Homo-oligomer: A and B are copies of this chain.
Amino acid sequence: MTAENAQIQGHAVNGVTEDEDVVTPWIVTSNNDSGIDYDKLIRKFGSSKIDDELLARFEKITGKKPHHFLRRGIFFSHRDMHTILNLYEQGKPFYLYTGRGPSTHAMHLGHLIPFMFCKWLQDVFNVPLVVQLTDDEKAIWKNIKIEDAITLAYANARDIIACGFNPEKTFIFSNLEHIGNNPTFYQNMIRIQRCVTFNQVKGIFGFGDSDPIAKISFPPTQAAPAISSSFPFIFKDAKVHCLIPCAIDQDPYFRMTRDVAPKLGFPKPALLHSSFFPALQGSKTKMSASDNNTAIFLTDTAKQIKNKVNKHAFSGGQATIEEHRQLGGNCEVDTSYQWLRFFLEDDERLEQIRKDYTSGEILTGELKKELIDILQRLVAAHQEAKSKITDDVIKQFMVPRDLGFVSKMK
């Protein structure tokens, strides 16, 4: 029994002892001041570290310098990424799959991470991408109206499209709308549901006897898009490999999927796991869309961005200017620096900032200013791109259609 399977067999991933981090699709908390211990998580989940060897191979095969999310360990863990590189090397097809549970609030910067990364992967590999909007999950867990959940899915689709995805190669769908328009998808849900017992979802997700059966039924819905036959209009009956970039908290779904896929005659999906984007207040918790001050929203104005960073971004600096000049700042816990790792692409500039802040050369206010400038530009550019996404454009992305994939297969 591999570590991966041990968890699927019911040794609770979410059954935690007191000093352990908790990482499930619904709860992410750490008891350590330095936040989640990602190396420990890799051992616990049985995944593999994204190491220098993998990055070197990535660069060699694709001819592209790895994305700074990869270079900086923001995407830090994987499953079977070598298989995907093998396929690419051999000119064989695969596709990307990611998803999002539409939020009742506007999307925030943390939500952009997987999409920025997917956009880059799509450009590098030139492969189709399917994006599942789990509005059903939101309707179930947050008990919001079905109609409202669908509306949120469409609102989120607009933000996702604004990340610049190729309309020729990207299919975005709302579960609540699409599953009732795709018999094969529903049939695959049933096929997956047959392979998973209540004991297993109890072990993997921590469901209990008093949970509504809507929750118990849901995991196969998130698994289905990793089975290429769920999208006959894209893949016909080809059994195509799937690569899923996602935050590590979604891994339980895909451990389950990897257990089931071979039973249905399909390859296990490969995965690329990201760490969590820290809240403005620090890295102990995931940024939350439901607390206005922990996040920068994609709808925030330049002024709001400036105020939030200045007021709420946890500082690794010292109490006084004198102490700071003398002792220097702590980049490890400084949110502004940590956020720059996500959004400042220039490695040299980032390193310079790190050195200067650590030595006390620059003050927290200067560091914050650096971040504010970048975020203001990023959010303004996003808002500008979003303003051009008409309802027709959204419809274009969300219509089930051929993505020019099957015709290109041998």
Q: Point out residues on A near B: beta carbons under 8 Å.
A: 136, 139-140, 143, 146, 176-187, 190-191, 193-199, 201-202, 207-214, 216-217, 219-220
Contact = CB atoms under 8 A, between A and B. Distances in A.
Chain B CB within 10 Å, residue with most, of A183, A208, A219: A183
A325 to B, nearest CB: 58
Nearest to A207: B198
A166 to B, nearest CB: 27
B212 A197 contact: yes
Nearest to A214: B193
B209 A213 contact: no
A185 B180 CA distance: 7
A234 to B, nearest CB: 16
A140 B201 CA distance: 17
Given A146-B191, A180-B186, A213 B216 contact: yes
Given A201-B213, A209-B198, A213-B220, A140 B193 contact: yes
Most B C-beta atoms less than 10 A away, residue of A201, A213, A214: A213
B209 A202 contact: yes
A187 B181 CA distance: 12
A200 to B, nearest CB: 8
Given A180-B187, A187-B146, A210 B214 contact: no
Contacts of A195: 212
Contacts of A220: 213
19 contacts: A139-B194, A140-B194, A146-B187, A176-B190, A179-B179, A180-B182, A180-B184, A180-B185, A181-B181, A181-B183, A193-B214, A193-B217, A195-B212, A198-B198, A198-B208, A198-B211, A213-B216, A213-B220, A216-B216
Given A211-B197, A211-B198, A217-B213, A140 B190 contact: yes
B181 A193 contact: no
Contacts of A176: 183, 186-187, 190
Contacts of A191: 146
A197 B185 contact: no
A208 to B, nearest CB: 8
Contacts of A184: 180
Nearest to A137: B190
A214 B193 CA distance: 4
Contacts of A143: 194
Given A146-B190, A191-B146, A197 B209 contact: yes
Contacts of A212: 193-198
B193 A186 contact: no
B213 A197 contact: yes
Given A180-B186, A198-B209, A199-B209, 6 more contacts: A139-B190, A143-B194, A146-B187, A180-B180, A198-B208, A198-B212
Contacts of A197: 209-213
A308 to B, nearest CB: 35
A210 B199 contact: yes
Contact of A217 (B140, B182, B183, B217): B217
Contacts of A217: 193, 213, 216-217
B183 A196 contact: no
A8 to B, nearest CB: 13
A185 B176 CA distance: 10
Contacts of A177: 183
Contacts of A181: 180-181, 183
Nearest to A147: B187
Nearest to A178: B183
B179 A183 contact: yes
A143 to B, nearest CB: 7
